[in-house]
Structure 1
Amino acid sequence: MKIFSAEQIYKADGLTIKNQQITSDVLMERAAIGLFEWLHERLQGASVKIHIFCGIGNNGGDGIALARHLHEHGYDAVVHVVNYSEKRSKDFLINLERLKDRKLWPEFLNEKSVLPEIDENDIIIDAIFGIGLNRPPTDWVANLIKHLNASRAFTLSVDVPSGLFPDRVPDDFDAVVRANFVLTIQAPKLSFFLPQTGIFINQWEIIDIGMDGQYLLETETDYDFITRAEIMPLYIPREKFAHKGTYGHSVVLGGSYGKIGAVVLAAKAALAIGSGLVTTYIPECGYKILQTAVPEAMVVTDGEDDFINHIIIPFEPSVIGLGMGLGTKSNTVSAIAKFFGNNKKPLVIDADGLNILAKHPDLLKKLPPKTILTPHEGELRRLLGDWKDDFDKLKKARTFSKAHDCVMVVKGAHTVVIYDGKGYINSTGNPGMATAGSGDVLAGMLTGLLAQGYPAPHAAIFGVFLHGLAGDLTASKKGYEAVTALGIIDTIGDAFVALFNSDMENAKKKTSAKS
């Protein structure tokens, strides 16, 4: 699912009007009908008071047109026009006249107006600002937004919560509508998925207004939102006459005294996602643990130490995942540096592997093309340096990925896979996955997918999606608090099965209900 910029949406508007030979107010009417049908399906004529706050641009025009449909179906709809400028969009004025023709008179609000009373049992429709907002709301409009947020009434925003910019963080977080639900026009917006801006949105759905299909299909976007529809074409089915060698030999390299569990988790995950063979490369202190905890895996040890100090893999692996529990002792760093200088095999680098790269950035030049890096926020900051906000973070990650020809997996509530200048925002996962070892599981899954022949960008996108889906299925059975890394591994098979039936959507519904 493509995430279009504001400029691309405006271009789609223009092409739709031209190619479909319609007027712009017809598009606004499509949006209003979509908004009304969504509300009417849920309210079924309920006698609830609906406050519609409309700006004087096209977002406000959507709200004005919606008010007309609500009024015609007997709803108690009150329209408040937020008069923040002398300018009016043409389609806003057209729909304002249509509203007046039906004897529904809006209340015009300005900086001297008394703020309307709103009961917590009322409904607020927020249609003040849309994606065209390019500066912070004026003080009196900001106060109005604070008033709406303080009402505790259910709030539905049209397209985006008012006060939220499409491409940057708000200057005043109190001057942004906190929406219980957003009905967004044609496509989601990037700000829905970033920590600093996604907090203003609880849930969202798309209102399809029939924009020009060819433009939407052919236009390249900086970001895609990855759902089941995008994942299914990436899946590589198992062959009937395959054997374990068909699906590759993964090496999971890491561990140190007290941190062998990270390798256990990664190895189990690589096996659970389908790697034909898995060998762990660990310090001697982890030998008995690995042989006991993961009997399916083979074990190579590094002398008698409690940490890795030299790396000699006695066979040709398909892929190497490294860094989990590795530590950063000087001998280990030297061993990793030498290994990077000699290795030509695909890599997944996690945890202390990333920390070593951050301290020794010259090693980045020695990585094979399309190496997958899986940083959490702290590790990412060590690699990139600081950033001013979430948008800047993604910009720097995209630049880093291009400069070093690597696949970046920027972990978070919506993990973003970045490669070749493009970001792929994951749709699965839940807060229960913020638990020890979850990242080790993901690294193992990505290693196992690479072993099976998935191209690195596909392995990252598919693995992140499946990791989140396994977490959703786990949470749907146990609740967020009881999600563990081992639980995610145990549910990887269920996640594969869910790709081919309705369990995926059911898992999402169940986890939402538990929140």
Structure 2
Amino acid sequence: MKIFSKEQIYEGDKLTAERQNITSTELMERAGTQIFNWMHMRMQGAQVPIHVFCGIGNNGGDGLVIARHLVTYGYNVKTYVVNCSDKRSKDFLVNYDRIKNVTKEWPTLLSCAEDFPEIHQDDIIVDAVFGIGLNRPVDGWVKALFMHFRNTKAFTLSIDVPSGLSTDKVPTDPDAVVWAGYTLSFASPKLVFFLPDTAKYTVQWEVLDIGLDQEFLYTTETEVDLIGKHEVLPMYIPREKFSHKGQFGHALIVGGTYGKIGAVTLASKAALSAGAGLISAYIPKCGYAILQTSFPEAMVITDENEALISNIDLKNVEPTVIGFGVGVGTNPKTVSAFEAFLKSNKTPLVVDADGINILSKKKTLLKLLPEATILTPHPKELERLIGKWKDDFDKLKKVKAFSKKHSTIVVIKGANTITVFQDKLYVNTTGNPGLATAGSGDVLTGIITGLISQGYNPLVAAIFGVYLHGKSADIAVEDFGYQSLIASHVINYLGETFIDLFKQPEQPPQEQEEQEERKKEDKK
């Protein structure tokens, strides 16, 4: 799914009006009606008090459309206009007149804190105050209104984006933003729904189709893509009946120190479970018996050093791809070995953990990385690599600049892991808090390495690997819960994850009802 910028959404609205020969007011009616239909399907006429707060721009116009339909269908609704400016949009004024035609109880004008209505915890708040176009600080009394919403503990439904939240920057004042329980977004979700600094402002989100021009939706290139099953399924490379292991490459994992051979074991198992034809592990001598015993499918090559990697000698192995860094440490001997290796290496590379820390300490090594090398840092490793950042948008800006400068693919690990290549962002939708456990990063490194081994190009391997890693954890967590999920479970459930790619999703009862309702309406 594409994540459109606010500028692209404005352009989409304009093109839709032109190509479908409709007015902006008609498009607003379509959007507001979709929100009402969503609410009506779930509420079925329930007389819960609904408070619709409308700004004086187009988001407020959407709110007035919603309120008018709620009134028409007999809901217990009160409408308020948040009078935060003297300027009103044209479409707001049109819908302000229209709501007057369906109720004698005209919208209440709010101009200060003394005007705030009483709202109870069991009520519903519809937030249609500001949309994506907000470009100025929120007035003090409007901020107090947003805090009033939050203090009531009432369920808050935001329209398009929680009011006060910009689509391209982090709020400086959390109290000047609506904290929504649910956000119904038009055309696409917003990037801010997935970033650590801003995701807290909406618990859940959903995209509503308001009939924007299809050519615009399909042909417009976006800076951000949202990655789910629909996006990764075309990436999958099926196997032919007469396939053999030689066709799926030879993955090599280089890493480990005394006491950290488990990291290499996890990465190696993950690479083979992700589909590599052959797997070798290059480790210190101390790990030989451990790896041969715990993972008999792996071939093992030992360094001349007993406790660490001091000389990466690959004369007797021709890997398709190399994963470096898991548990490897940053001993000066290991740093020297890595530098010597990089000077002669032409094989595709995945670098994780201490491999990234070595690059951070000795940044001259970055120029030796093969093109499209994949780096998979956790937040602290990323900070060492690119420096401190002011907020999530600054972080993304720095990572994009780093990716362009060094021709690397950077996987920013987190709740919504983001893969960055040049100026493009790929936001993952799988995974859960159970992945906050030792070894899960080693498993991700192994999965990505295993995919490259089979012939996936590095960018696809990173995107697909991140999806598989998170989805495997999502399936496993059903059996183990967040606290008891461990990295080995993620490997063990990779098979089910591949099978899941081809499963049709079960339709929730609510969606089945909506589908039946639409069929009835179509027949009418």
- With structure 1 as the length reference, what TM-score do the two structures score? 0.97
Q: Which residue of 1 aligns with 2:59?
A: 59
Q: Which residue of 1 aligns with 2:76?
A: 76
Q: Which residue of 1 aligns with 2:293?
A: 292
Q: Distance in 2 between matches of 1:130 and 1:23?
A: 19
Q: 1:224 to 1:505 in 2, by over 3 A?
A: farther
Q: Distance in 2 between matches of 1:420 and 1:269?
A: 27
Larger mean Cα displacement after TM superposition, 106-115 or 193-202: 106-115
> Do the aligned residues in 2 keep the contact of 1:54 with 1:79 (CA within 8 Å)?
yes
Give the Å deviation of 1:136. 2.0
Letter of the 1:16 counterpart: T
The 5 Å alignment of 1:132-281 reads 132-281=133-282
Give the Å deviation of 1:112. 5.1
Give the Å deviation of 1:482. 1.7
Q: Which residue of 2 aligns with 1:376?
A: 378
Give the Å deviation of 1:383. 0.7
Give the Å deviation of 1:172. 0.4
Q: Distance in 2 between matches of 1:173 and 1:211?
A: 32
Q: 1:503 to 1:257 in 2, by over 3 A?
A: farther
CA shift digits 1:92-144 (9 cap, x unpaired) = 11111110111241111012533211100000101111000112211110010
Q: Which residue of 1 aligns with 2:460?
A: 458
Q: 1:329 to 1:503 in 2, by over 3 A?
A: farther
> Do the aligned residues in 2 keep the contact of 1:136 with 1:172 (CA within 8 Å)?
no
Letter of the 2:461 counterpart: A
Q: Distance in 2 between matches of 1:37 and 1:482?
A: 41
> Do the aligned residues in 2 keep the contact of 1:125 with 1:158 (CA within 8 Å)?
yes
SS at match of 1:199: helix
CA shift digits 1:458-499 (9 cap, x unpaired) = 000100011110011011222222211011111111000111
> Do the aligned residues in 2 keep the contact of 1:441 with 1:489 (CA within 8 Å)?
yes
> Do the aligned residues in 1 keep the contact of 2:440 with 2:486 (CA within 8 Å)?
yes
Letter of the 1:158 counterpart: I
Q: 1:273 to 1:112 in 2, by over 3 A?
A: closer
> Do the aligned residues in 2 keep the contact of 1:495 with 1:504 (CA within 8 Å)?
no
Q: Which residue of 2 aligns with 1:10?
A: 10
> Do the aligned residues in 2 keep the contact of 1:397 with 1:418 (CA within 8 Å)?
yes
Letter of the 1:302 counterpart: D
CA shift digits 1:177-228 (9 cap, x unpaired) = 1111100011111111100001111111111111111112111111111121
Q: Which residue of 2 aligns with 1:42?
A: 42
Q: Which residue of 1 aligns with 2:336?
A: 334
> Do the aligned residues in 2 keep the contact of 1:227 with 1:427 (CA within 8 Å)?
yes
Letter of the 1:69 counterpart: H
- With structure 2 as the length reference, what TM-score do the two structures score? 0.95
Q: Which residue of 2 aligns with 1:498?
A: 500
Q: Distance in 2 between matches of 1:466 and 1:391?
A: 26
Query: Does 1:361 find its partner at 2:363?
Result: yes
Number of residues of Structure 1 aligned to a counterpart in Structure 2? 507
Give the Å deviation of 1:175. 1.4
Give the Å deviation of 1:229. 1.4
Letter of the 1:173 counterpart: P
Q: Distance in 1 between matches of 2:272 and 2:49?
A: 56
Q: Which residue of 1 aligns with 2:516?
A: none
Q: Distance in 2 between matches of 1:330 and 1:160?
A: 50
Q: Distance in 2 between matches of 1:340 and 1:110?
A: 65
> Do the aligned residues in 2 keep the contact of 1:136 with 1:170 (CA within 8 Å)?
no
Q: Distance in 2 between matches of 1:273 and 1:306?
A: 29
SS at match of 2:197: helix
Over aligned residue pairs, what C-alpha RMSD do you find?
1.3
Q: Distance in 2 between matches of 1:474 and 1:162?
A: 37
Q: Distance in 2 between matches of 1:322 and 1:129?
A: 48
> Do the aligned residues in 1 keep the contact of 2:113 with 2:145 (CA within 8 Å)?
no
Q: 1:349 to 1:112 in 2, by over 3 A?
A: closer
SS at match of 1:479: helix
SS at match of 1:196: coil
Letter of the 1:135 counterpart: R
Q: Distance in 2 between matches of 1:413 and 1:89?
A: 38
> Do the aligned residues in 2 keep the contact of 1:155 with 1:181 (CA within 8 Å)?
yes
Q: Distance in 1 between matches of 2:462 and 2:190?
A: 22
SS at match of 2:322: strand
Give the Å deviation of 1:304. 4.0
Q: Distance in 1 between matches of 2:357 and 2:481?
A: 33
Give the Å deviation of 1:433. 1.0
Letter of the 1:53 counterpart: F
Q: Which residue of 1 aligns with 2:517?
A: none
Q: Distance in 1 between matches of 2:117 and 2:452?
A: 59
Query: Does 1:96 find its partner at 2:93?
Result: no
CA shift digits 1:122-168 (9 cap, x unpaired) = 00101111000112211110010001011111111000001101100
> Do the aligned residues in 1 keep the contact of 2:257 with 2:329 (CA within 8 Å)?
yes
Letter of the 2:164 counterpart: G
Give the Å deviation of 1:303. 1.9
Give the Å deviation of 1:505. 8.5
Give the Å deviation of 1:237. 0.4
Letter of the 1:407 counterpart: I
Q: Distance in 1 between matches of 2:137 and 2:298?
A: 57
> Do the aligned residues in 2 keep the contact of 1:349 with 1:374 (CA within 8 Å)?
yes
> Do the aligned residues in 2 keep the contact of 1:307 with 1:332 (CA within 8 Å)?
yes
Q: Which residue of 2 aligns with 1:87?
A: 87
Aligned pair partner of 2:481 in 475, 479, 482:
479
Give the Å deviation of 1:52. 0.6
SS at match of 2:281: strand
Letter of the 1:259 counterpart: K
Q: Which residue of 2 aligns with 1:513?
A: none
Q: Distance in 2 between matches of 1:134 and 1:400?
A: 29
Q: Gapped runs of 5+ residues in structure 2?
A: 512-524
> Do the aligned residues in 1 keep the contact of 2:322 with 2:449 (CA within 8 Å)?
yes
> Do the aligned residues in 2 keep the contact of 1:469 with 1:504 (CA within 8 Å)?
no
Q: Which residue of 1 aligns with 2:521?
A: none
Q: Which residue of 2 aligns with 1:412?
A: 414
CA shift digits 1:53-77 (9 cap, x unpaired) = 1100000110110001111111001
